[in-house]
Structure 1
């Protein structure tokens, strides 16, 4: 008759303890990696959707530089025309309001749960190269103007030459090291270079990205 082999209570507890330690060490990293992948996917999708909207509009209206006004305000109807015609299938709701400087802001909720707040700079210095700022948020509930922390909210810009880009580098794109340092050292709510860094790296959040989740 064979002797039955069984684990002692101490052995079971030790095994469970080891499993618990391994889980505690690995699960947070797995969750963080998943969140970073979601961020990468949403940023790349938003960039693609906006550029597709521009291309579709150019098919009907000609080159964007010929119809993009110097200042995109409430009267120009450019935002409304984009929303209703070329971004319609991606949108769940839109609204607009005026801030304390009488600038019109547009809030747009997208079908994947993300969204953006957009407005056009009113100053001549800014509008010479930037036509509109888009404050993209992974969760529409967190959308607000002038917020781009490089974690949940990111800055995109519609340039005067018709390019829709990550960050606001409409004139020239600095080196990766310059962008990295700008992302790392900027004010917590003004990390415009962080969007450029992610795009520079092929829409990936690299290990040296300062604000990994």
Structure 2
């Protein structure tokens, strides 16, 4: 019986992750309809691209219609008590990329991050480096189970990348959200849109084996969940 309950719980969490992805993808499509192609989106000095273009498309799906972002202290406390990889948790708690969070009607707690990606310095001397530098994207973390447990990376907490300007045609490689967010990374992406962390690099989905990351499923497993048809398969590092 316990195993049946555990499997049912996995199916529920996978369905919640899929539902959120659908909501976010629709918001992206609506934002392009209202504001033009994402490759031309620009943020002002007061708002991130997420706040300026995507958040307005989600307002009808907020849990509290009179509240925009929760206070940053509430958001940080949720992150502080969640089981995340060391770099993701500590960097989100201390870096200016942190922009607060909000909750959707379905219970999902969403943590949008400031736009910014980093590519490896080993590419700087290659002919396609100038194309890589033009990539514009922003990371996003969601707890699809809200404030309920397990509050763990790869189980009910997942990461996505909102891509405005992708790699140019025939350019290969990966980009991660800022230099320290190596858990939020996508590879070989050529269209604007929503990408799960680990896209193009499913083999990098794994559990940490050292230090503070020991036993923690990394955010790149979001890509594996998607590629496996929104199912936690037997080889998923649960």
Q: 1:137: Cα distance to partner?
A: 0.6
Q: Name the residue aligned to 2:184.
A: none
Q: CA deviation at 1:37?
A: 1.0
1:50 matched to 2:24? The reply is yes
Match of 1:165 in 2: 195
How many angstroms does 1:108 deviate by? Answer: 1.4
Please state whether the residue corresponding to 2:101 is helix, strand or coil. strand
1:194 alignment partner, one of 221, 224, 228: 221
Aligned equivalents of 1:137, 1:43: Cα separation in 2: 9
Summarize deviations over 1:134-175 as a string: whole Å, max 9, x none: 1111233379xxx96211211111123322111154xxx13x
* Cα deviation 1:62-88 (Å, max 9, x = unaligned): 11111145xxx8623533334552111
1:113, distance to aligned residue in structure 2 (A): 1.3
5+ residue gaps, structure 2: 73-91, 121-131, 167-191
| CA RMSD in angstroms, aligned pairs only | 3.1
Aligned to 2:144: 138
Q: In the alignment, is the contact (CA less than 8 A) between 1:137 and 1:153 conserved in 2?
A: yes
Residues in 1 aligned to 2:137 and 2:198: alpha-carbon distance in whole angstroms: 10
Secondary structure (helix, strand or coil) at the match of 2:137 reads strand
Runs of 4+ in 1 over 3 A off after TM superposition: 81-84, 96-104, 121-130, 184-190
Residues 87/121 of structure 1: CA separation in 2 closer, same or farther (3 Å cut): closer
| Residue 41 (structure 1) shift | 0.8
Change (3 A) 1:89 1:100: same
SS in 1 for 2:147: helix
> Relative to 1, partners in 2 of residues 1:189 and 1:134: Cα closer, same or farther, differing over 3 Å?
farther
Q: Which of the pair has the greater relative contact order for Cα pairs under 8 Å at 6+ separation? A: 2
Contact 1:96 1:105 in 2 (8 A): no
Q: Could you say which structure has the larger radius of gyration? A: 1
Structure 2 match to 1:102: 96
The separation in 2 between residues aligned to 1:121 and 1:68, in whole angstroms, is 10
Q: TM-score under structure 2 normalisation?
A: 0.61
Matched, 1:76 2:33: no
Gaps of 5+ in 1: 1-26
Residues 108, 142 of structure 2: 8 Å contact kept: yes
2:154 corresponding residue in structure 1: 150
